[in-house]
A = this chain, B = another copy of it.
Amino acid sequence: MDFGKSIRIKDIAKLAGVSVGTVDRVLHNRGRVSDSALQKVTAVMNQIEYKPNLIARTLGSNKNYRIAALIPDPTLDPYWAQTNLGIIQAQKEWSQYGIIVETIPFDLYNKESFHRIAREVIDDGPDAILVAPIFYYESVSAFELFQLREIPYILFNTNILEGKPLGFIGQNLTQSGRVGAQLMNLGQHEPATFAILHIDEDVHDSIHLLEKEKGFREYFKEQQKSKFEIVDLSLNPHQITFDDQMRSLLERVDLKGIFVSTSKGTAVAASFVETYGKSDIRLIGYDILQENLKYLKSGTIDFLINQNPKRQAQLGISHLANHLMFKRPAPQMDLFPLEIITQQNVDSYLESGIH
Contacts and interface: CB of A to CB of B under 8 A. Distances in A.
Contact of A336 (B62, B187, B302, B352): B352
Contact of A59 (B56, B64, B97): B56
Interface stretch (A109-117, A150-158, A170-178): A170-178
A73 to B, nearest CB: 19
A333 to B, nearest CB: 9
A339 B342 contact: no
B355 A345 contact: no
B345 A186 contact: no
Nearest to A182: B344
A337 interface: yes
A171 B347 CA distance: 12
B345 A175 contact: yes
A302 B344 contact: no
A178 B210 CA distance: 34
A340 interface: yes
A39 interface: no
Contacts of A95: 1, 6
Interface in A170-202: 171-172, 175, 178-179, 181-183, 186-189
B344 A178 contact: yes
4 nearest A-B pairs in the assembled complex, by CB-CB distance: A187-B187, A338-B345, A340-B340, A179-B344
Contacts of A339: 337, 339-340, 345
Interface residues of A, number: 52
Contacts of A344: 175, 178-179, 181-182, 219, 338
Given A175-B348, A178-B344, A337-B355, 15 more contacts: A5-B62, A6-B98, A54-B96, A55-B55, A175-B347, A179-B345, A187-B189, A335-B351, A335-B352, A336-B352, A337-B352, A338-B348, A340-B340, A340-B342, A340-B345
A24 B334 CA distance: 42
Nearest to A306: B337
Contacts of A334: 352
Nearest to A6: B96
A31 interface: no
9 contacts: A51-B96, A55-B55, A172-B348, A175-B347, A179-B345, A337-B345, A337-B355, A338-B348, A340-B345
A181 B285 CA distance: 21
A339 B343 CA distance: 13
A242 interface: no
A182 B340 contact: no
A352 B219 CA distance: 22
Contacts of A172: 348
Contacts of A182: 342-344
Contacts of A4: 64
Interface string A161-173: 0000000000110
